[in-house]
Amino acid sequence: MGVGIEVSELNAWYGSNHTLQNINLRIPANHATALIGPSGCGKSTFVRCLNRMHETNPVGRVTGSVLIGQLDIYTQASPVEIRRRVGMVFQRPNPFPTMSIYDNVASGLRLNGYRNRVVLDEVVQRSLEQAALWEEVKDDLKKKSGASLSGGQQQRLCIARALAVDPEVMLMDEPASALDPVSTAKIEDLIFQLKSQYTIVIVTHNMQQAARVAENTGFFLNGRLVEFDATHKIFTNPRDKRTEDYITGRFG
C-alpha cells in the first residue's frame, strides 16, 4: 500500500537558479496526484526532489523536508534506499537496450541481492502483469531485448521494472507525452489500476489527462505552487486567477 507524502518548505537550486521556492504540499496515499504548469515552472524538479535525484546534479541543492510516511528522506535514509521506495518513470522510455525483457524487469532485484530463480520468475511475472504487459511478451521474455518493443510497450516495461522492487510511491514525469493515443490510453488505464496499491504523482502538460486520472492537482508557476486542490475544483472553480488563466489557455 502507498504512503502519503508531506513536503515542507522545500527549496531547490540549480547553481544560483532558485528553481523551487517554499513548496508546502500534502500528497495523499493511494491516490493519483497530477502536477500541471507551463514548461520550466519546476514540476519535474519537484518530483526529482521526491526521490533525491535532484542532488545527483553537481550544481543541484535542496533544503526543506520531505516525509514519505514517517521517514524524512533527506535526513533518515540514503538516496539508494529512497530510490527503492520511490519508483520513477521518465518521459521517454529507457529500457536497458542490451538486456532481455526478463532481465530489464529483474535488474533492480539483482542489484538488491536477489538471486533465487523462483523468486525472480515470480516477481517478473507479477510486475509485468501489473504493468498490463505480461500477455504481450510472455513468450519472448528472454528472446527479445527491451529495446525491441514498441514505444508504448517500452514504457510499460519501465513501469514493470520500477514495480519489481516493490516501491511505495510511483513518480511519473510526462509518462505518455511521447506515445501514440492508444498507448497513452493504456498508460492511463494502468494508473487507475495502480493507485489502489501505490501513491502516484504524475507530471503532465495534458490537462485532460490530469482530469481523467488524478483525484488531486497542483498548479506550479515560476517555481512556486500556486494552488493545490481536488482536480474537479482546480478545473471548474480555481481559487487563483493565475490557475484559471493557465487552464483556459491565456498563457502556457
- Render each residue's pLDDT in the chain as its tens digit; 252 residues: 678 999 999 999 999 999 999 999 999 999 999 999 999 999 999 999 999 999 999 999 999 999 999 999 999 999 988 988 999 999 888 999 999 999 999 998 898 788 889 999 999 999 999 999 999 999 999 999 999 999 999 999 999 999 999 999 999 999 988 888 988 999 999 998 899 999 999 999 999 999 999 999 999 999 999 999 999 999 999 999 999 999 998 876
For residues 101 and 141, is the Cβ–Cβ distance under 8 A?
Answer: yes
3-class DSSP state for residue 226? strand
Using alpha carbons, list the distances in angstroms from residue 64 to 20, 217, 236: 11, 22, 32
CB 212 within 8 A of CB 188: yes
Looking at residue 96, its amino acid is F
- Dig out the grid coordinates for 135 from the structure: 500477455
Where do we find the cell 529507457?
94
pLDDT at 252: 67
What is 5-98+167-247's CATH number, 3.20.20.70, 3.30.420.280, 2.70.150.10, 3.40.50.300? 3.40.50.300
Phi and psi at 238, nearest 5°, equal -65, 150
Distance CA 24, CA 65 (A): 9
Integer Cα distance of 2 and 5 in angstroms: 10
Distance from CA of residue 79 to its chain's centroid?
A: 16
Predicted TM-score of the model (pTM): 0.91
Please say whether the beta carbons of 26 and 41 come within 8 A. Answer: no
> Residue 145 has what DSSP assignment?
B
